[in-house]
């Protein structure tokens, strides 16, 4: 079953604005990751945040994690047309027999208008 | 360039054909994965190989047959597929998998169309 779910499904903003995407998940996690995918291409890892961390930064990206609410947000500041892509959160969910699986949501499709 | 190479990038096959997808990673990783991405669906994990051993098979139909001859190469053998199997098949690798899920490095994918 789907562990992570992104919101909104689609987001359209003007270049220079900030973009915020949210991810909610159902069960406890060890870490949460965000990935980006350009149309028809592979996924590219953006950032990993561990369950004992609350906030992490990487360049124009800021990720927060609230384990009490089982949610995370990805903020892209000063967006550029090149940020146009789909963004996915991924969480490690227990799959039984001592192993975990990395489960992805359906993604948020971000369009940045020049 | 992520260090994970998938071939072919595009494949069209009939329902009675047999074909294979190939994935090669140059990152020295020990875990490799096959994911399926269909339109409007979340990525679906298909198979996990950790140190060449299959550790996960997510109830994938037997018409998909994985092979991992060494830690750098992963194949997905396809036979008697259905049109609903048309999708983007993504290969990924990581340092290790199963318990410690770190960053995944993805290939560009193989776009499969089944006629």
Classify the C-alpha dihedral A48-B47-B112-B91 as positive or negative: positive
Q: Name residues whose C-beta falls within 8 Å of residue A106's C-beta, 6 or more positions apart in sequence.
A: A2, A5, A6, A9, A88, B40, B41, B42
Per residue in B32-49, pLDDT (tens digit) is: 999 999 987 889 999 999
Average pLDDT score over chain B: 91
Q: Name residues whose C-beta falls within 8 Å of residue A81's C-beta, 6 or more positions apart in sequence.
A: A15, A112, A113, A114
DSSP secondary structure letter of residue A30: S
Distances (CA, A) of B67 to A78, B71, B73, B87: 44, 11, 8, 20
Contacts of B50 in chain A (CB under 8 A): none
Interval B56-68 mean pLDDT: 91
Residues in B whose CB is inside 8 Å of some CB of A read 2, 4, 6, 35, 40-43, 45, 48, 55-56, 58, 88, 90, 92, 98-99, 101-109, 111
- Judged by DSSP in three states, A112 sits in strand
Minimal Cα distance from A50: which residue of B?
Answer: B102
Smallest Cβ distance to A104: which of B42, B98, B102? B42
- Judged by DSSP in three states, A82 sits in helix
Residues in A whose CB is inside 8 Å of some CB of B read 2, 30-31, 33, 35, 40-45, 48, 88, 90, 92, 95, 98-107
Tell me: pLDDT of B96 over 80.
no
Interval B2-9 mean pLDDT: 94
Smallest Cβ distance to B109: which of A41, A99, A101? A41
Per residue in A11-65, pLDDT (tens digit) is: 999 999 999 999 999 888 889 999 999 998 999 999 999 999 999 999 999 999 9
Q: In the prediction, which pLDDT does A1 show? A: 47
Query: In percent, how much of chain A has pLDDT > 70?
Result: 93
């Amino acid at each position: 079953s789907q562990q992570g779910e992104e919101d909104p499904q689609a987001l359209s903003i003007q270049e220079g604005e900030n973009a915020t995407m949210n991810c909610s998940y159902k069960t406890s996690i060890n870490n949460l990751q965000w990935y980006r995918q350009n149309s028809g291409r592979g996924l590219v890892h953006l950032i990993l945040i561990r369950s004992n961390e609350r906030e992490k930064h990487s360049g124009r990206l800021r990720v927060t994690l609230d384990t009490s609410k089982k949610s995370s947000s990805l903020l892209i500041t000063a967006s550029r047309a090149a940020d146009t892509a789909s963004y996915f959160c991924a969480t490690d969910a227990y799959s039984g027999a001592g192993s975990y699986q990395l489960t992805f949501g359906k993604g948020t499709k971000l369009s940045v208008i020049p | 360039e992520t260090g994970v190479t998938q071939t072919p990038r595009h494949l069209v096959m009939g329902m009675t054909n047999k074909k294979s997808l190939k994935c090669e990673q140059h990152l020295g990783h020990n875990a490799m994965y096959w994911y399926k991405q269909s339109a409007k669906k979340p990525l679906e994990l298909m198979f996990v190989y950790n140190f060449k051993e299959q550790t996960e098979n997510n109830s994938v139909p037997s018409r998909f047959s994985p092979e991992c001859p060494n830690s750098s190469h992963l194949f997905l053998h396809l036979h008697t597929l259905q049109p609903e199997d048309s999708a983007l098949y993504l290969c990924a690798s990581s340092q290790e998998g199963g318990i410690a899920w770190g960053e995944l490095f993805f290939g560009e994918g193989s776009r499969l169309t089944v006629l």
